[in-house]
Amino acid sequence: MENYTIEETERGTIPMTSYKFQEYNTKNVINIGTAGGWTKASTGYTFRNTTKKTKQLLTFLKKEQNLSKFTKPSKFWFYDLFFLDVLAHNEEGPNLFSSLFKKLKFKLFLNFR
Ligand SMILES: Cc1cc2nc3c(=O)[nH]c(=O)nc-3n(C[C@H](O)[C@H](O)[C@H](O)COP(=O)(O)OP(=O)(O)OC[C@H]3O[C@@H](n4cnc5c(N)ncnc54)[C@H](O)[C@@H]3O)c2cc1C
């Protein structure tokens, strides 16, 4: 398959971290997207989380004024923290991701984002 042209290339750095971005939110200001910690730490995906969080934010705003109360750490935040720790402390990262592809059912794998 050689019949293609590269129109654009992308480059960037995805913050794969469980840093507590939400601590920068205040009563009246909330950071959104990557700046708000909406990037999934273990994969770098943000779009899906942003869709989910935006809906949650709308529901939240109907009953609450204080924006610093919006973000609460979830068990998934902890799972990501744990996974990143494993990746950071051994060289099996590529094998770990390959085994996810091999062992998980494809639909379940796609949910990991
Ligand atoms: C190469 C690459 C591929 C990616 N692919 C995917 C993908 O397939 N799916 C996915 O879900 N996510 C992907 N991501 C993650 C991606 O970063 C997010 O999905 C999305 O771009 C985050 O949007 P955002 O608005 O939060 O941040 P950004 O897109 O980074 O936008 C923030 C904007 O704020 C501006 N800014 C920063 N500081 C200031 C300031 N002080 N004052 C004014 N402006 C400021 C920046 O210049 C930037 O324009 C990818 C990231 C990279 C780098």
pLDDT single digits (tens) 39-86: 999 888 899 999 999 999 999 999 999 999 999 888 988 989 988 998
Longest alpha-carbon distance in the chain: 56
Task: Say if 50 falls within a structural domain.
Answer: yes
Number of domains in the chain: 1
Task: With respect to residue 78, please indicate whether it lies within any of the assigned structural domains.
Answer: yes
Q: Is residue 25 part of a domain?
A: yes
7 found inside a domain: no
Residue 112, pLDDT > 70, answer no
**Would residue 40 count as lying in a domain?**
yes
CA-proximal residue: ligand 1, atom 13 (nearest):
45
User: What is the residue range of 93's domain?
Assistant: 21-111
Residue 80's identity, in one-letter code, is D
Q: Is the CB of 49 under 6 A from ligand 1?
A: no
In a domain, 83, yes or no: yes
The helix (run of H) or strand (run of E) holding residue 50 is: helix 47-63
CB-ligand 1 contact for 43 (6 Å cutoff): no
